[in-house]
Amino acid sequence: MMIRQNQGFTLLEMVVVLVLVGVVTGLVLPGLQRMYDSLSLALDRDELVAQLSSLALQVRHSGRDSYFAGYNPDMDMSLQALPEGFKSYISSSEWQMAVDDTILITAAGFCPVGGRVKVSRGEKTFELYLRSPDCKARIP
């Protein structure tokens, strides 16, 4: 008499495994989406902080005083003699910026008076502060 060995899984076992994988996937995907969204927001914020922090260096490189009054591409608002590199970054990324008061950035790369900058792109909105005297951007 020959004993037959079981090879493979039954159809019921395969269905149970697929249902369990589906349930776990349904529970995990919303968390992964939230994590992806928060990472995307953090990357945008960090890129913006880096660009605003480099603004004083770009002004210093240009060798003339600059006034930062915000930027809105729909209104074609002037950036008032800000360096070209910063203008192209802002206009290419569709950022809209608003400041409480015009911020002076001297040719030496200093901000005698800091200021609050509100930046938005789509539904994302950040409030940053350009601090005096080094014009470094920080999140309040």
Q: What residue spans of 1-140 are helical by DSSP H?
A: 11-53, 55-62, 84-92
Q: What is the pLDDT of residues 34-75, one digit of tens each?
A: 999 889 888 878 887 887 788 788 888 878 887 777 654 554
Position 51 scores a pLDDT of: 78
Position 123 scores a pLDDT of: 79
Assigned token pair, 64: 């003339």
Assigned token pair, 96: 């809209």
Q: What is the pTM of this model?
A: 0.62
Position 76 scores a pLDDT of: 41
Domain ranges of the chain: 12-138
Instruction: Give kind and range of the element (H or E) at residue 129.
Output: strand 124-130
Residue 135 near residue 58 (C-beta atoms within 8 A): no
* CA gap 70, 97 in Å, rounded: 5
* CA gap 124, 93 in Å, rounded: 13
Position 80 scores a pLDDT of: 43
Which residues fall within 8 angstroms of residue 70, CB to CB, at 6 or more apart? Answer: 77, 97, 98, 99, 117
CATH number of this structure's domain 12-138 = 3.55.40
